[in-house]
Amino acid sequence: MTSNNSHFVAPIDETPLQATDSVKTDQAPLSLWADAWRKLRRRPLFIISALLILALVVIALFPGLFTSTPPNEGCELANSEGGPTAGHPFGFTFQGCDVYSRVIHGTQASLSVGLLSVLCVLVIGVTLGALAGYYGGWIDAVLARLGDIFFALPLVLGALVITQLPLFRENKSVWTVVFVISLLAWPQMARITRGAVIEVRNSDFVTAARALGVSKFGALIRHVLPNALAPIIVLATLELGVFIVAEATLSFLGIGLPQSIMSWGNDIAGAQASIRTRPEIMLYPAAALSITVLSFIMLGDAVRDALDPKSRQR
Instruction: Give the span between the Cα atoms of 265 and 14, in whole angstroms.
Output: 72
pLDDT score, position 178? 92
CB atoms within 10 A of CB 311: 11
Contact between residue 219 and residue 202 where contact means Cβ atoms under 8 Å apart: no
pLDDT score, position 61? 92
pLDDT score, position 294? 92
User: Which of these CATH numbers, 3.40.50.300, 3.20.80.10, 3.30.365.10, 1.10.3720.10, describes 34-59+91-311?
Assistant: 1.10.3720.10
Measure Cα distances from 36 to 33, 122, 195, 225, 312 in Å: 5, 21, 21, 18, 10
The identity of residue 85, as a single letter, is: T
- Ordered per-residue pLDDT tens for the chain, 314 residues: 445 555 555 555 555 545 544 545 555 555 666 777 777 788 888 899 999 999 999 999 998 888 887 777 667 777 777 777 777 788 788 787 888 888 999 899 989 999 999 999 999 999 999 998 888 888 888 988 888 888 888 888 888 888 888 888 778 888 999 999 999 999 999 999 998 898 888 888 888 888 888 888 888 888 888 888 888 888 898 899 889 998 888 888 888 888 888 889 888 888 887 888 888 888 999 999 999 999 998 888 888 878 765 544 44
Measure Cα distances from 260 to 67, 159, 174, 284 in Å: 19, 20, 11, 19
Total-model pTM = 0.81
Per-domain residue ranges of the chain: 34-59+91-311
pLDDT score, position 313? 47
